[in-house]
Structure 1
Amino acid sequence: MVPGQEHVSDILIVGGSLAGLMTGLAMSRHGFSITLLERSSDIDRTGAALQVGDGLLEQLTGRRHASGMLAAGVQAWQSVYRGLRAAAEEAGILVLQNARVETTGQVEGHAWAMTSDNRRFEGAVLVGADGYQSVARRYVSPERPDAIFADYLAWVGFAEESALSVRFPPNLEFLGSGPYVLLGFPLTAADGSPERGRRRVGWGWYDAGHNAILRKTGAVEGSLVRHSLRPNDMPDELFEELAELARLHWPSPWREAILECIARRAVLGTPVVEYLPDRLVSGRICLVGDAAHVCTPMTGNGFATAADDALILARFLDAAALQAEPIAALKLYEASRLPEVRRLARSGQQVSKNFVRAAR
């Protein structure tokens, strides 16, 4: 597709991460042509662990899938992404990477998205699934387009079981010590194998005491989060401080997992963001996942809530509704979904306020 050329589909999804893929899969049950635009070309991104429900793909698509495509239980972000992406390819969804959407809009009869290289994409409906920095949200809620920094971050890392000299933890744990909270979780191997010796340990360490480094590096500007804190942004003194704090606050085996990641400089600092929506829809454009609502990952419900968004949207926007009354169908989606996601977002805000207050 050359710059300036138009591409038309039934459903146009902006954002090719988990929420976008799940929405595409849920819509695929209606036989729609679906185009999914993803700004990145990097499929090996780092994210926290996710609780995957049994039979999620079958719930989304209404049909059976290859065994092992997406396993139930606690899974690494990368494993979930790969499973959803494989299912999207099986469903015939067109996934275009390196398609950075800069603006969205609508005219009579369709919605559209323009990419940074001047490609135009159209759909009868546009779904914004482009995360907490959503471009589509700027159209839906122009008066309040930005998610807000929650005043703390999560240090995140993954250690290989084979690199640890301690017993592998059997279960997810949620721990508190002093001003900090730690989520630790066992994972399968990177390829999904549960074989002993190849598994991994993941951890997310919530911390309200290192916001200065976020502002110094430009990761946070004012109330807005610009990017995560990468290891190259972190001075040796910070790694040394985190190692000392880990020894002081966290028990085995999480302490050893954290120290192993610190020794490899394999730690990511993720500023926590929040967004309480006033609306989810404007005409033919709607929002799902973190584009629609953002809660602290402490609640552990972000992935499941995005899956519910996809399923409920597909319930209202079927083939008949797309042909006859797509705008009315999206209004029904909003009426059904908005009260619940506002409740979840408010609950997450309270969790964050309590954590930051206790940390200070």
Structure 2
Amino acid sequence: MAQSPRALIVGGGIGGLAAAVALHRRGWAVTVLERARSLEPVGAGISLAPNSLRALDVIGLGDEIRGLAAWQGDGGLRTPGGHWLSRGSAAVMAERFGGPLVLLHRATLIDSLAARLPEGVVRTASAAALVDPGGAGRPARVSTPAGELEAELVVGADGIRSAVRGTLFPGHPGPVYSGFTTWRTVIPLPGADFASHETWGRGRIWGTHPLDDGRVYAYAGARVPAGGRAADDERAELVRLFGDWHDPVPAVLAAARPEDVLRHDVHHIAEPLPAFHAGRVALLGDAAHAMPPTLGQGGNQAIEDAVVLAHHADPRDGRTVEGLAGYTAARKPRTTGISRKAVGVARLNMMRSRPGIMLRDAAITMVSKAGPALFLRSFDGIADWRPPRSPYASDETGVRVP
């Protein structure tokens, strides 16, 4: 029996694992190379919109993840004093875009994706470097601690500081600071009873969302210089910045421990890459199009990338290089537009000018009264995306077959 073409995935995050599952189902012999010693994800919560849930349907995970949806009622946008600027609901969201918005811990999604892969596919403590991107007449080559590997396809899913991207496009300027930093935490909050919300202040934002398991996912952002750290601890810094905001913000801060709070400066790729591929190598997720989290689409777009890449990378026809050109054509315009929109939203919700904030809040209120909430409108053209039609049908096991 002929050996299946080989695909090496550099990076075992959400995008890398989603690509591994999608390519495995398509018929590739997949290996995931993750430099960390385990698949424990960096980060806290993630929101999955209907677009990425439909992508997860392609790899058999959509309904499982939809079952974790905790946001069932009202939600929306507030001011630091608690006034609602714009309100929406899970039901309206589902009706408008054909599905719910699911908030869950990143570890839950990582575990679900990894469980879809055969034993031994994921190699941890395996730092990888691209040696040769390959081409139509030769395989790509990757160096690892265990030696050099060859493959018909390499996927660079190694994040915002992607070494694979740097090898493919050494002249690209890479990511730039987005102008703000973020804090995130997932904590138990017994007796919590509040509507899912995001709050926009003066150069600061806060979000609080219930999860399916009884915990709360909270995040914050503030316009500060890059590279900063709190004088005491990051929880104390959040109390200083947000301690007098509306309920349940003080309760969340009181329940959090300093070690529960993660802080990261936000960067994005301002200058789009010339392509998302070169030779036999494809880039996906933050390695290809890192964007601010203001639309909550970073992980969603990585999942979309994964299933579109598998759609274009047919393991049977020997035309991987041509297939990757189709992947770039399908993904670059969409992700570039969403990234620019996320940058624009960051300018809006991180605004510092008091007169500008007054005009912004008044406009949001007026627009939301006249039609769907701003929160929902921001997803138009994003959450209604659908995966490409596969040229393959699915048998009863869900595996793609001719």
Structure 2 length normalisation: TM-score?
0.70
Counterparts of 1:58 and 1:342, CA distance in 2: 22
Deviation at 1:345, TM superposition (A): 1.6
Q: Provide the residue aligned with 1:209 in structure 2.
A: 224
Aligned to 2:57: 59
Could you tell me how far 1:82 is from its partner in structure 2? 1.0
Residue 29 of structure 1: how far off its partner (Å) = 1.9
Any conservation in 2 of the 1:70–1:83 contact (CA below 8 Å)? Answer: no
Q: 1:202 to 1:340 in 2, by over 3 A?
A: same
CA contact (8 A) 1:37 1:97 kept: yes
Deviations 1:104-129 (A, max 9, x none): 423442112113x3621221011111
Partner of 1:143 in structure 2? 171
For 1:178, give the aligned amino acid: R
The equivalent of 2:385 in structure 1 is: none
Find the counterpart in structure 2 of residue 341 from structure 1: 335
Deviations 1:307-334 (A, max 9, x none): 111111111112233x2x1111101111
Letter in 2 for 1:308: E
Which residue in the other structure is 1:310 paired with? 306
| Structure 1 pair 25–146 and aligned structure 2 pair: CA distance change class (3 A) | same
The match for 1:84 is 113
Structure with the larger RCO, 1 or 2 (CA within 8 Å, 6+ apart): 2
TM-fit CA distance, 1:135? 1.2
SS in 2 for 1:22: helix
Per-residue deviation at 1:299?
Answer: 1.0
Structure 2: which 5+ runs fail to align? 70-101, 355-402
- Whether the 8 Å CA contact 2:6–2:152 is kept in 1: the answer is yes
1:328 aligns with 2:352: no
SS of 1:45's partner is: coil
Is contact 2:56-2:303 (8 Å) kept? no
**Which residue pairs with 1:185 in the alignment?**
209
CA shift for structure 1 position 9: 5.7
Q: Secondary structure at the match of 2:246?
A: coil
What secondary structure does 1:358 align onto? coil
Q: Is 1:130 paired with 2:158? A: yes
- Cα distance, 1:64 vs. partner? 7.5
Using a 3 Å threshold, how does the CA distance of structure 1 residues 65 and 333 change in structure 2: closer, same or farther? closer
For the residues of structure 2 that align with 1:105 and 1:299, how far apart are their CA atoms? 35
Residue 242 (1) aligns with residue 238 (2) = yes
**1:358 is matched with which residue?**
352
Q: Percent identity?
A: 23
Flag the 1:357–1:257 CA change in 2: closer, same or farther, 3 A. closer
Pairing of 1:1-360 with structure 2 (within 5 A): 10-52=6-48, 59-61=57-59, 63=60, 71=68, 73-89=102-118, 94-107=121-134, 108-115=137-144, 117=145, 119-144=147-172, 146-162=174-190, 167-169=192-194, 171-189=195-213, 199-209=214-224, 211=226, 213=228, 234-236=230-232, 239-248=235-244, 250-261=245-256, 263-275=257-269, 276-321=272-317, 323=318, 325-358=319-352
Which residue in the other structure is 2:99 paired with? none
Distance of aligned partners of 1:265 and 1:105 in 2 relative to their CA distance in 1, 3 Å threshold: same
The DSSP-based 3-state class of the residue aligned with 2:27 is coil
- 1:289/1:328 CA distance change after superposition, 3 Å: same
Q: Deviations over 1:231-269 (max 9, x none)?
A: xxx432764343133222x221132112322x4442111
Query: What SS does the aligned partner of 2:352 have?
Result: helix
**Cα-Cα RMSD:** 2.8
Contact map agreement 2:37 2:124 (CA 8 A) in 1 = yes
Secondary structure of 2:115's match? helix
Quote the Cα distance in structure 2 between the aligned partners of 1:212 and 1:85: 33
Normalising by structure 1, report the TM-score: 0.78
**Counterparts of 1:356 and 1:53 in 2: how far apart (Å)?**
23
Contact 1:9–1:122, Cα closer than 8 Å, also in 2: no
Q: Is the 8 A contact 2:133 2:140 kept in 1?
A: yes
Deviations 1:25-49 (A, max 9, x none): 1112222100110111133334242
- Compared CA separation, residues 338 and 270, structure 1 to 2 (3 A): same
- The alignment partner of 2:117 has SS state of helix
Contact 1:141/1:279 (<8 A) preserved: no
Give the drift of 1:285.
0.7
